[in-house]
Amino acid sequence: MKERIWLASPHMSKEGYEQKYVKEAFDKNWIAPLGENVDKFEEELANYVGVKYAAALSSGTAAIHMALKAAGIGEGDIVFCSSLTFSATANPIIYQNATPVFIDSEEETWNMDPKALEKAFEKYPNPKAVVVVHLYGVPAKMNEIIEICKNHNVTLIEDAAESLGSIYKGKQTGTFGKYGIYSFNGNKIITTSGGGMLVSNDEERIQKVRFWSTQSRDKARHYQHSEIGYNYRMSNIVAGIGRGQLKVLDERIKQKTDIYNRYKEAFKDIKEIKMQPVPEDTKPNHWLSTFVLNEASRVKPNDIMNALDAENIESRPVWKPMHLQPIFEKYDFISTCEEEDSVGQKLFENGVCLPSDTKMTEKEQQVVINVIKNLFENK
């Protein structure tokens, strides 16, 4: 069988930075949660993105959960949330017994539509937070979204799980809202095998999150707890991997961008294909290269994914929107599309995520390109 070409898989540095920090943890016998690597990873990532404080956690989902809790989200509160995303964005809203209201995408970035967000405020004037996603590493329309949130005095949380290193108007995604979160899951642009980070310029809230995420243990000689806690803190070993990965983040962004540009160039003459747009004044990290087929396309997404799979090449549909998920379909959904399918639904039904693995060679990427081109040439 041909060697597998992956969608996105872990890629350790050739310099062995990760092993160096992990070995130091072993040499010091500091294998348990917390430790020097955790402290340094928080500091180094905060410096990279340009915020004051960070809390290293067990996952990006944990980071979203802690952001919502830090924002005071509780039972019955309404939270506006991007619909076109992975379920980890929305699940923590339910953890807090709050009510999600899902917001449709717009076509220029595939992210939360500011016009739909304004429409949501007309129907629900007093939400407690807005959770916006930077899908596949492409920044959302933050100027408009920030202005709307300020006008309505509502907390903005950025799910930048997929967009670490992406730039919007000269500033890192994840740093525009009150809270930003990043993920280091195995498929992300840098990975710790699992893990996440919550960032904010609010020192008191980050300290509180560190407290909650270490089981809310009070300062006492005995084990005493005055609040419900969570086992969410990152381990010293995992953080060591993260410190090493952070050193190659800029290199990974360049590699991902080169992959995107090769696809864009290769498919420029296929009128049915439109790559995910790159808006002006943005520099995406291109975590996943994705495209959407027009609805009249001779070739359908399943044709492409099946053909790639036959060559042992991994691909994936675009995320299925949350408002179409069985577990979330009972919650409200706000769109500017009145009498037609939502933007998010169209992207899901017509979109494909292409292999974007930074270990993929140009020759291997050309195999992917040829498989797709052949489908259109033979239709």
Which residue, chain included where needed, has tokens 């930003």? 180
Both 353 and 289 in one domain: the answer is: yes
Both 264 and 163 in one domain: the answer is: no
25-33 contacts at long range (C-beta below 8 A, 24 or more positions apart): 25/236, 25/237, 25/240, 30/236, 31/235, 31/236, 31/237, 32/235, 32/236, 33/214, 33/233, 33/234, 33/235, 33/236
Domain end residue (candidates: 217, 246, 275) = 246
Both 190 and 109 in one domain: the answer is: yes
Instruction: Locate 209 and state its tokens.
Output: 């999150």
**Residue 31 has what pLDDT?**
86
Gyration radius of the chain over CA positions: 21
Please check whether residue 35 lies inside any domain of the structure: yes
Calpha distance 283→23 (Å, rounded): 35
Q: What is the DSSP string of 81-137?
A: EESSS-HHHHHHHHHTT-EEEEE-B-TTTSSB-HHHHHHHHHH-S--SEEEEE-GGG
Both 240 and 254 in one domain: the answer is: no
**Residue 259 has what pLDDT?**
98
The set of residues, in sequence order, having a beta carbon less than 8 Å from that of 149 and lying 6+ positions away, is 130, 155, 156, 177
Both 280 and 208 in one domain: the answer is: no
Please check whether residue 5 lies inside any domain of the structure: no
**For the chain, how many structural domains are there in total?**
2
Q: Which domain holds residue 317?
A: 249-377
pLDDT tens string, the chain, 379 residues long: the values are: 689 999 999 999 999 999 999 999 999 998 877 899 999 999 999 999 999 999 999 999 999 999 999 999 999 999 999 999 999 999 999 999 999 999 999 999 999 999 999 999 999 999 999 999 999 999 999 999 999 999 999 999 999 999 999 999 999 999 999 999 999 999 999 999 999 999 999 999 999 999 999 999 999 999 999 999 999 999 999 999 999 999 999 999 999 999 999 999 999 999 999 999 999 999 999 999 999 999 899 999 999 999 999 999 999 999 999 999 999 999 999 999 987 889 999 999 999 999 999 999 999 999 999 999 999 998 7
Both 179 and 32 in one domain: the answer is: yes
**Residue 292 has what pLDDT?**
98
Both 242 and 261 in one domain: the answer is: no
**Residue 370 has what pLDDT?**
98
Both 257 and 188 in one domain: the answer is: no
CA dihedral 117, 120, 125, 129 (to 10 degrees): -50
Please check whether residue 219 lies inside any domain of the structure: yes
Calpha distance 379→204 (Å, rounded): 60
**Residue 1 has what pLDDT?**
67
Calpha distance 232→215 (Å, rounded): 8
Please check whether residue 8 lies inside any domain of the structure: no
CATH assignment at residue 360: 3.90.1150.10
CATH assignment at residue 45: 3.40.640.10
Please check whether residue 2 lies inside any domain of the structure: no
pLDDT in tens, 56-104: 999 999 999 999 999 999 999 999 999 999 999 999 999 999 999 999 9
Domain end residue (candidates: 201, 230, 246) = 246
Both 300 and 281 in one domain: the answer is: yes
Both 219 and 253 in one domain: the answer is: no
Domain end residue (candidates: 246, 276, 305) = 246
Instruction: Locate 108 and state its tokens.
Output: 């220029």
Both 269 and 353 in one domain: the answer is: yes
Please check whether residue 69 lies inside any domain of the structure: yes
Please check whether residue 241 lies inside any domain of the structure: yes
Instruction: Locate 133 and state its tokens.
Output: 């996603």
Please check whether residue 325 lies inside any domain of the structure: yes
Is the Cα dihedral 156, 161, 166, 171 positive or negative? positive
Both 212 and 320 in one domain: the answer is: no
**Residue 339 has what pLDDT?**
75
**Residue 378 has what pLDDT?**
84
